[in-house]
Amino acid sequence: MKTKFASRMKSVPRSFIREILKVTTDPEIISFAGGLPNLQMIPVRELEAAADKVFESDGTRALQYSTTEGYYHLREWICKRYLEKKGIKASPDDILITTGSQQALDLLSKVLIDKDDRVVIEKPGYLGAIQAMSVFQPKFNAVEVDETGVDTDKLEKVFKAKKPKLFYAVPNFQNPSGITYSDAVRKKTAVLCKKYSVLFVEDDPYGELRFEGNDMPAVKNYLGKDGVMFGSFSKIVAPGLRLGWVFAPKDIMERIVTVKQAADLHTNFLAQRITYQYLLDNSIDAHIEKLRKVYGVHAKAMLSAIEKYFPQEVAYTRPQGGMFIWANLPKGLSAMDMIKPALKDKVAFVPGDPFYTDVKDANTMRLNYSNAAPDVITEGIKRLGNTIKKLIGKGCAKK
């Protein structure tokens, strides 16, 4: 019998990263493809101790069903963190715990997006958001970002002409580009969202990972009660816990709770309890400071290797935090066409195409520096530089 699938499945792209990771199981391949935290930095022993304490003190209830909104004390901790780090006031009722911030994207899309609704994203934009929202068949309008953030002049033109329902963005160490919005761009973005009644969705999984410069206010600081924020424990504790959250106004939150009840009742309660116990017993700030130092060293190693081994025609971002560097290859050199030659040279990366909704055969690529040691990064960039040079030598890039 031939299965008849929903028509919406035609518009949903597969995760390119998940696909490319399948071919990087060869231990000889150096991978810059995944957005993976460093394995050596995951606090295994501390989480083990937290788990033991939860099982010893309250194991039965930790393994019982729980509320859809999530563990109250964990939501309370998140609120205190917002106030301490961003000066943003929130109550536990404003927070819902999700199965990673990827589920937050899915739930918000279910609540807000109808077929053919206009949705604004960054160009390039986070491919996980593109995938999650594509299920609901919106029409995307992508607005370019540069070293200071989204182009607010173009953003206003799109808001005025297309009347979008929401604008999704990653203002801190953006995935994939690594750029961070300036304060002026944050303020202007908030002004435009209010002026044109566009919901701003602020995804902030990397904001704590700054290793250079000064922390920036959230766009939410300029929006007041408006706007939605996503957060995650994946980058600051451990991704396998699959814990994220939504911070949203009451009218949106009520509907998110409803669709989450239909999706999974609640996020893994045991993981929530263990994470909260870990946060009680350990200094998350001390742990984050270690992450910042290590990722800063890794980023410096990659930037130095790029400068040494890439052709001069390659332009690239210089992030002050996060996990990614974005590179622009010589004109006419398709990053998609580089995948097989690069794998042959035992190095993997993510080409730019999955991060766009309106570009094919892009000459851009995303490089992750958090998950490999500096010497491995240097060797991998050397290999990738050789791949680029060989393709240029074969005339693959247009003059």
- pLDDT score, position 104: 98
How many structural domains are present in the chain?
2
Is residue 318 in some structural domain? yes
Q: Among 237, 259, 281, which residue terminates a domain?
A: 281
pLDDT digits (tens, 9 = 90+) for 180-210: 999 999 999 999 999 999 999 999 999 999 9
pTM of the model: 0.94
- pLDDT score, position 399: 47
Q: Give percent of the chain with pLDDT exceeding 90.
A: 89
- In angstroms, the Cα distances linking 38 to 21, 99, 151, 291, 374 are 16, 21, 32, 9, 12
- In angstroms, the Cα distances linking 155 to 52, 126, 160, 217 are 50, 17, 9, 20
3-class DSSP state of 68 = coil
- Give yes or no: residues 327 and 275 share one domain: no
Is residue 212 in some structural domain? yes
Is residue 129 in some structural domain? yes
Mean pLDDT of 37-64: 97
- pLDDT score, position 310: 97
- Give yes or no: residues 30 and 169 share one domain: no
- pLDDT score, position 398: 54
pLDDT above 90 (res 15): no
pLDDT digits (tens, 9 = 90+) for 313-370: 999 999 999 999 999 999 889 999 999 999 999 999 999 999 999 988 899 999 999 9
Q: Give percent of the chain with pLDDT exceeding 70.
A: 96
pLDDT above 50 (res 297): yes
Could you list the residue range(s) of the whole structural domain that residue 245 is in?
Answer: 64-281
Identify the CATH number of the domain in which residue 117 sits: 3.40.640.10
- Give yes or no: residues 83 and 199 share one domain: yes
Is residue 53 in some structural domain? no
- Give yes or no: residues 199 and 220 share one domain: yes
Q: Which residues pair with 140 in a beta bridge?
A: 119
Q: Are 326 and 317 in contact (CB under 8 A)?
A: yes
- Give yes or no: residues 245 and 98 share one domain: yes
pLDDT above 60 (res 8): yes
Torsional sign, CA 355, 219, 117, 133? positive
Is residue 366 in some structural domain? yes
Greater model confidence, 81 or 332:
81
**Measured distance CA(307)–CA(288) in Å, rounded:** 28
Q: Among 260, 281, 302, which residue terminates a domain?
A: 281
Q: Among 252, 281, 310, which residue terminates a domain?
A: 281
pLDDT above 80 (res 14): no
- pLDDT score, position 251: 97
Is residue 398 in some structural domain? no
Greater model confidence, 216 or 12:
216
Write out the two tokens for 146: 């540069």
- Mean pLDDT, all residues of the chain: 95
Is residue 56 in some structural domain? no
- Give yes or no: residues 384 and 307 share one domain: yes
- Give yes or no: residues 250 and 320 share one domain: no
- pLDDT score, position 5: 79
Is residue 48 in some structural domain? no
- Give yes or no: residues 75 and 162 share one domain: yes
- pLDDT score, position 6: 79
3-class DSSP state of 140 = strand
Identify the CATH number of the domain in which residue 19 sits: 3.90.1150.10
pLDDT digits (tens, 9 = 90+) for 122-180: 999 999 999 999 999 999 999 999 999 999 999 999 999 999 999 999 999 999 999 99
DSSP string, 337-365: HHHHHHHHTTEE-EESGGG-SS-SS-SEE
- Give yes or no: residues 340 and 237 share one domain: no
- Give yes or no: residues 84 and 220 share one domain: yes
- Give yes or no: residues 36 and 126 share one domain: no
DSSP string, 197-246: T-EEEEE-SSTT-B-SS-----THHHHTT--EEEEESTTTT-GGG--EEE
- Give yes or no: residues 249 and 295 share one domain: no
